[in-house]
């Protein structure tokens, strides 16, 4: 908690505090902004020091504003509440009796919403067939389409009375 009071976050280059409500900079390159810990910088100079290390060809610093302390506390409370709900749902799922007639489903709630595509292989394919680059956001779109295809194939396998999804279920 003391870390929250000293500042909002730390600069990825100089490790200095970025105060609440202060201007900070993020990298325009999508791979620097993924996940829970995007690269953030206290100044354009700190961002500029990051560019050669990451080997960006075309990049710029995007100016942002840090949240207020109250906004940040609200986000933290919402995240804690969501984690508590997920833990409660997992506990309830573990307490349910096994039913042989119920369709098989993964334990612990819904499937994770992660990327299902091997990004390096897809990017290599697109580059070799067209000479084009592939945006990282393509992986999310393709993963969602793949989920829909798999859901349809699972339904067809169930209709056929099988517990194995086969290639013919995707046709």
Q: What are phi and psi of 107, to 5 degrees?
A: -75, 150
Determine if the pTM surpasses 0.75: no
Tokens of 133: 């680059």
Q: Which domains does the chain have, with CATH numbers?
A: 7-66 (no CATH), 111-171 (1.10.20)
CA-CA-CA-CA dihedral for 120, 123, 128, 129, to nearest 10: 140
Percent of the chain surpassing pLDDT 90: 22
Q: What's the rounded mean pLDDT across residues 83-98?
A: 70
Taking only the tens place, the pLDDT of each residue in 118-169 is 888 999 999 999 999 998 888 889 989 999 999 999 999 999 999 999 999 9
Considering only CA atoms, which of 142, 134, 150 is closest in space to residue 116?
Answer: 142
Q: Which of 142, 123, 140 is closest to 131 using CA atoms?
A: 123
Tell me the CA distances in angstroms from 66 to 18, 43, 128, one per residue in order. 8, 13, 41
| pLDDT, mean over the chain | 81
Q: What is the pLDDT of residues 44-65, one digit of tens each?
A: 898 888 877 777 778 888 888 8
């Amino acid at each position: 908690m003391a870390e929250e009071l000293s500042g909002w976050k730390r600069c990825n280059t100089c490790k200095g505090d970025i105060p609440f409500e202060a201007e900070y900079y993020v990298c325009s390159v999508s791979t620097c902004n993924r996940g829970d810990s995007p690269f953030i910088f206290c100044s354009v100079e700190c961002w500029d020091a990051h560019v050669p290390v990451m080997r960006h060809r075309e990049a710029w610093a995007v100016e942002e504003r840090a949240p207020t302390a109250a906004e940040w506390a609200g986000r933290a409370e919402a995240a804690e509440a969501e984690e508590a709900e997920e833990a409660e749902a997992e506990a309830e799922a573990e307490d349910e009796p096994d039913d042989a007639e119920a369709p098989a489903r993964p334990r612990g709630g819904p499937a994770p919403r992660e990327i299902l595509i091997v990004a390096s292989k897809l990017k290599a394919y697109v580059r070799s067939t067209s000479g084009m680059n592939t945006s990282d956001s393509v992986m999310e779109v393709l993963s969602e389409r793949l989920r829909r295809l798999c859901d349809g194939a699972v339904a067809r396998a169930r209709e056929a009375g099988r517990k194995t999804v086969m290639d013919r279920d995707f046709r």
